[in-house]
Structure 1
Amino acid sequence: MLQIKLPFSQPIFPLVDIGVNFFDKAFADDLDEVLEHAQLAGVTGLLLTGTDLDNSEQALKLANQHPNLLCSTAGVHPHSAADWTKSTAATLQDLLAEPACVAVGETGLDFNRNFSTPKQQQLAFEEQLTLAAETGKPLFLHERDAGVKMLEMLHTWRDSISGAVVHCFTGEKKTLFGYLDLDLYIGITGWVCDERRGTHLWPLLPSIPLNRLLIESDSPWLIPRNLKPRPKKYRNEPAYLPWVLQQIAQLYALPVQEIATLTSTNAQRLFNLPVALLERKLP
């Protein structure tokens, strides 16, 4: 059972978490319990992020095992762009043909760490932009310190893709407005709950139109710092998404239920999610 008290008198739902990383070793021993916790906390749907071929295949397999709770994405993260080969696109296309796989990504550009070179990243991103155009499925995007190039590439392709979310947005005003000008969705995580490094987002958040706002845990990372008391197992999980919801609602000066409903409806619209992912379920 969930060992912490929610920040509300009762769970808020629907609440769709658009970004979880369940194949990190942090979830190796208790994934079933994590899924149970999420549902008890009011989370009605989760999107499993694919970051390479193996990860994307695992995400689809798990999503097919829980069709009323999970969907998946398929892609190659910019950190892994160096692994892109001629056969990668074909494998991803096969995964994207499955109904439970609802987006291309996680893909994009990361010039902060450059685990793959910028050239390798741009090649892999271009290939995945092509996949999004061919399949009609939206993009699940990652960007860090690469806003100028990312916007340039997205602008070229925008008329050919159905939509996209810039997940875990932590950037500045100019970059944010560039994404909004392209009519993209913006994913907000527990970064906005961090009083040390997330405060620059506080005045920016209300600039995001409510019909372009999405919410995500990005678990097991970015545990909300407004979560009290901190769990003994210091990892983030979808059950803690209500604390991100609470912070967002405060910044918009709107009821938490309104933000939960709007972001879940936005997720359903962007990813064409099954209606079942918006319905209250108990484990």
Structure 2
Amino acid sequence: MQLIDIGANLTHDSFDRDREAVLQRARAAGVSQLVITGASREHSPRALALARAHPGFLFATAGVHPHHAVEYTEECDAEMRALLAQPEVVAVGECGLDYNRDFSPRPAQRRAFERQLQSAVDTGKPLFLHQRDAHADFMAIMKQFDGQLAAAVVHCFTGTREELFDYLDQDWHIGITGWLCDERRGAHLRELVPHIPSDRLMIETDAPYLLPRTLKPMPKDRRNEPAFLAHIAEEVARDRGEEVAATAATTTATARAFFGLP
């Protein structure tokens, strides 16, 4: 069984002590390829460097998360475009809007998002998107780029039924994480995942965040890692009424096609 983790924050400092061991455990658990999330000026170049150190296994995105939107200057735009020119960088992002935390002012978030959408138009690379509590503005900004974008995945989808169908109506892809396993916040996702067409569904850990709460035994440090993607695949398969092998095969094929992976 082969799995692809489309979103892991492997440049996070919690992996500094054992990153190679984490990658070995991922391989042993059936993860054949990983896309490392680039989410800031600091971490996007690191994601590329890590991908280059593991050719064919690791790939990267390059972008600025809405939390860091104030970083998105002209110099930052030039840096991101230089990263996006590299073959190991397979998507623009993580980018989007986050009105839940508002770590950056909303006007700055919208400006940074629009600049990165233009980069996606110019490079022809797919988008790795983030949206939290900002659906109306998110859709309005995306609408400005109708017909110009190669493809898009709404990563770590946690939203409502209405939001899901708005995304599917645009032919966007959906990334499902261990949020599904959180009985406090994610129970509604179990009813929604059967509605995602198999050629639009991908899975991800968002490691080191979002450790699946149904994982047994729990790691002592409560750190999520790509090896736990197999557990997420099992949960998604159960909710979709599929064999795990079928969910693994379709999500892997979808991810390879979306990101252009070998």
Contact 1:205 1:251 in 2 (8 A): yes
CA contact (8 A) 2:41 2:71 kept: no
CA contact (8 A) 1:51 1:76 kept: yes
**1:17 aligns to what SS in structure 2?**
strand
Give the whole-Å Cα distance in 1 for the aligned partners of 2:117 and 2:144.
Answer: 10
1:174-189 alignment to 2 at 5 Å?
Answer: 174-189=162-177
Alpha-carbon deviation of 1:86?
A: 1.1
Tell me whether 1:54 sits opposite 2:30 in the alignment.
no
What aligned pairs does 1:1-283 form with structure 2 within 5 A after superposition?
A: 13-274=1-262
Q: Aligned with 2:191: secondary structure?
A: coil
> In the alignment, residue 213 of structure 1 is paired with which amino acid?
L
Greater relative CO, 1 or 2 (CA 8 Å, sep 6+) = 1
Task: Give the root-mean-square deviation of aligned CA atoms.
Answer: 0.8
Q: CA deviation at 1:158?
A: 2.9
The normalised TM-score by structure 2 is 0.98
Q: 1:158 to 1:273 in 2, by over 3 A?
A: farther
Give a deviation string over 1:232-272, Cα, whole Å, max 9, x none: 22100000111111110001100101111111111111111
* 3-state DSSP of counterpart to 1:158: coil
Q: Secondary structure at the match of 2:144?
A: helix
Q: How many residues align?
A: 262
Residue-by-residue CA offset, 1:1-29 (whole Å, 9 max, x unaligned): xxxxxxxxxxxx21000000012221110
User: Could you tell me how far apart the structure 2 residues matched to 1:158 and 1:168 are?
Assistant: 22
Is the 8 Å Cα contact of residues 17 and 215 (structure 1) preserved in structure 2?
A: yes
Shift of residue 207 of structure 1? Answer: 1.0
Q: Distance in 1 between matches of 2:132 and 2:41?
A: 22
Give percent identity, aligned residues only. Answer: 49
How far the C-alpha of 1:91 sits from its partner, in A, is 1.0
For structure 1, which segment, 22-31 or 250-259, has the greater mean C-alpha deviation from structure 2 after superposition? 22-31
SS at match of 2:163: helix
Q: Which runs of 5+ in 1 are unaligned?
A: 1-12, 275-283
TM-score normalised according to structure 1 size: 0.91
